[in-house]
Amino acid sequence: MDPVEPSQGWGVLHLFYRVDRARADNDLGREGKRVLDAIESLVADGHQALLFAVLGHKADLGVMALGPDLARLQAFQREFAHAPLSLVDSYVSLTELSEYTSTEDDERARLETEQGLVGAAQEASLAAWRERMAHYQEQRLHPQLPLKRAICFYPMSKRREPSANWYTLPFDARKRLMAGHARVGRTYAGRVLQLITGSTGLDDWEWGVTLLADDPVALKEIVYEMRFDPVSAEYAEFGPFVVGLVAEPADALARVGM
């Protein structure tokens, strides 16, 4: 199968399954081995997969798979179809850079107005800023996901109501609002890894939000605090939330009885 590679970023699949015990042929261990083989093959092809046991009724097993080739991700999904797993929900998105990310001109102006830096001192600060931004952009487009203990996923879109239409706001206003939103998120650095992936034109919502943390309380706190930010309070619509316990693939399968 010919690869299908986005010109920027990676493909991301969130897949949610129920264990179909009627199809298990009384040998869930063997079927679990088939799933592990599919994951090992995907990783060998330069992709990533996180498995998690879902809390609540929405699914038993969650899979987050991402990497450069959409065709390879689709083949991976097809391999899972041979296991005793019934797909109950899914989400398709791409990693992306935010259009509201600060530019070098923005940073230059900030250094002048907030720190009074000009000349050589400004250039030294800009050089450090460029290095940080290169790392940030690489992590947004080609993230390496850590094995945290808990995961939260939800889709979201921006409102289009007459009194709160995100898409009728001027770009500068949207950028200013998103800068405030990002400041809230940065206070959770080290506690919560946030991956925002774009799905406009690819799925029913506009973005998928994946949060990873060792402490489930941090997941609750970041979402709660961001609800008070105007970007969420006035302009955001949220889809269903799915929460799970992340583990090594074999351990995650064991948690769901495979």
Which residues are annotated as catalytic? 154
Tokens of 24: 């298990």
